[in-house]
Amino acid sequence: MSEATENLMHEPKVISNEKAQNTFSTAMVISGIRCAFTYVIFPILAPALGVASGVGSGIGLVASIIGIAANLYSIKRFHSSNHQWKWRITALNVAVIILLGVLLVLDIASLT
């Protein structure tokens, strides 16, 4: 194996700051949509449309899992890019993950 090939194999893949920021934005939008469903759409619109309460918990459960995965991916991207704000953004992502985790537990409890 050539020396250049060996160097490429051992170097970590660096992600651009722009891609990391886009991933963070996407994770925050997903988390925001989940919260909008939980606190606006389901409590107000679901009863008006005659939708059962269990449907909201089921959708919230799936949205929480997707939101947690998106936030974990955002953390990975920020650390891969060695972004100057990676620790601040990580703290924010972890806070959102904790919130989504609590909502996930509440959704599971309401479904059982």
Cβ(67)–Cβ(29) below 8 Å: no
What does the pLDDT look like over 64-77, one tens digit per residue? Answer: 898 899 899 889 88
Burial of residue 92 (CB within 10 Å: 0-12, 13-18, 19+) is middle
Cβ(24)–Cβ(96) below 8 Å: no
Confidence (pTM): 0.68
What does the pLDDT look like over 6-55, one tens digit per residue? Answer: 554 555 555 677 887 888 888 888 888 888 877 777 777 767 776 665 67
